[in-house]
Amino acid sequence: MTFPSVILGILMALILGNAFHFWRGGGFKWLLMYNLLAIAGFWLGHLVGFLANLHFLPLGPINLGTSLIGSILLLFAGWWLSMASVENNQK
C-alpha cells in the first residue's frame, strides 16, 4: 500500500462521511463522528476484502467495493446506535 493510495482512501471515506452528515444533519460533533466512522469502516472493509481475497471494484491497491460497503455499514451502525441513546434521553 503506497502513501498516495492511503491518502486517496482517506479522502474517499471523508467524502462518504460528509455526504452522510449532509443527509442526516447534526452539529460539529456528528460531523466528526461520521467522518471517523467512515474512515474506520473504509479500512475495515478493505481489510476484510483483502483477507477474503475479494476483488470488487479494485482501484489500484485499494479494494474499493468492499471498502465502500464497510464504510456504509459502519456509518449506518453508528448512526443507529447513537440514535438509541438520543431517544432514551428524550423520555
- Mean pLDDT by 10-residue block, N- to C-terminus, for the chain (91 residues)? 93 96 90 96 96 91 94 94 67 57
What pLDDT, on a 0 to 100 scale, did the predictor assign at position 87?
56
What pLDDT, on a 0 to 100 scale, did the predictor assign at position 45?
96
The number of distinct structural domains making up the chain is 1
Q: Which residues are within 8 A (CB) of 73 and not within 5 positions of it... i.e. 6 or more apart?
A: 41, 45
Contacts 24+ apart (CB under 8 A), 82-88: 82/33
Neighbour-count burial for 36-68, b at 16+ CB within 10 Å, e otherwise:
ebbbbbbbbbbeebbeeeeeeeeeeebbbbbbb
- Stated pTM of the model: 0.86
3-state secondary structure of 52: coil
d(Cα 32, Cα 3) in Å, to the nearest integer? 23
What pLDDT, on a 0 to 100 scale, did the predictor assign at position 82?
87
- Residue-range definition of the domain harbouring residue 55: 3-90
